[in-house]
Amino acid sequence: MISSSEIETTHPNTLPTQNDHLVVLNAGSQLYIKLDGGNYPAWRIQFNALLIGYDLQGYIDGSTPCPSKPLNNAPNVINPAYTHWVQQDQLILHAIVSSVTATVVTHLGAVRTSKQAWDTLKTMYAGRSRVRIMALKQRISTFTKGTQSMASYLQGIKAISDELSIIDSPLDNTDLVIHTFNGLGAKYREISAVLRARETPIDFAELHEKLMDFETLMHHDEPSGTDPILATAHAASRRHHQISFDNNSSMVNQQPKKKVICQFCEKPRHTAKDLRTGRTLLRRPLKQDLYHLPTTPSTASSPHALTTSIQPISTWHHKLGHPATKIIKQLADNHHIPIKLPPSAECSSCQCVKSHKHPFSDHSLTSNRPLELIYADVWGNAPFRSLDGFLYYVVFVDHYSKYVWLYPMKNKLDVLSIFIQFKSLVEKYFNLPIITLFSDNGGEFMKLRSFLSHNGSLISHRLLTHLN
């Protein structure tokens, strides 16, 4: 039984109204999460929502204090409001005790009110000590996905963030997203780079959705079942026995006697052999990841290492690292390698990488200060939309300083609004006006021309079709 001395009575005498009634909280059916020490944030949200729903939160936060026990006009009569408050408070205390595990309830043996029980649990599992804050921040900074599922990883990092919020040291959305990215492994490097490069910040809920979708896609792309057996002459390792080809192309089981390294993939326990004959391929000294051929041809009557079927020049061109045709011809002549030499050989990779641009010719355009000449051009549309829905971009180039400003756009008609924004930005930055604007005769610049003429602007708009 609770004595009046154990309850703080600061509220004035209040008689219960006809609508006052006791609310019984059923912990078994209304509170599905039992507090076990590690799930305090979830338990607190659940219990707090239940109390707010019944308008009983004042019992645990102190905003509904206990009325005085006796009435002012009748000291020997117990205040009905006091009796009602004690009964309701004990029902809330019972719900708290019923919603915690046996290991936690032992810490509530000395409490007498629901507020005491609430404050005790908050001190135990959500203390605001500097040590606890530092421990939680250290934990979230070192929390990694590892081998756990994406759902478990995101749930774990969000739980730490919720604990920090409860003790009044919350992480903002940007910090939470950065910690989430840092804990992902190398398999998620691509999607992390894409999401980090977004122009608009991503919140944790959207990040949760995209990472879960990405993990589902990764699992879908992984091959199921056992790896298919390749029809090659490579020796394969199966358990403790090695399957290899002998000189007669027959398969025998042997115990590995020494460590064998493949001369192509450099992986152990197998070697590359000719598919037809089963013989080991050419062996030569390896220097700086290259096999060096002899400088002089072999004097043997049948140099097996240097004989091969006639292959087109394109095959040797790709195998030897895209050398010039002159080098391949010299190699074929010096080492007697049969190569089919066509009149001309084209390689698209060489044309892209080894091409050289012509020097720029002089032109008459000159500028003596920033913003005197501004080039503008629109690119698009892209084959697919960006994460933020952009299909185009407009670029502005200052002829004098070579500064470049790039603005992504969802529609071509956004050129007018972007130019107004750009004009205000650069003129304020350089403290100079734009004199001349160059652009092509694209339709997206028509509204811009109208803006320049109707607003009394001093900017001259000139059209360019080609500039050498």
**203 in active site:** yes
411/439 Cα distance (integer angstroms): 18
Rounded Cα–Cα distance for residues 325 and 343 (Å): 11
Q: Let me know: does 297 contact 290? Beta carbons within 8 Å.
A: no
CA distance 319 to 264: 12
| Distance between CA atoms of residues 55 and 52, nearest Å | 5
Count of beta carbons in the 10 Å neighbourhood of residue 350: 15
Structural Rg of the chain based on CA atoms: 39
Output the six-digit token pair for 114: 């629901």
Contacts 24+ apart (CB under 8 A), 1-4: 2/86, 2/90, 2/112, 2/113, 4/69, 4/82
Catalytic pick among 20, 55, 203, 333: 203
- For residues 81 and 16, give the distance between their C-alpha atoms in angstroms, rounded to a whole number: 5
b/e map 135-165, b = 16+ CB within 10 Å: ebbeebeebebeeeebeebbebbbbbbbbbe
Q: Looking at the annotation, which residues are catalytic?
A: 203
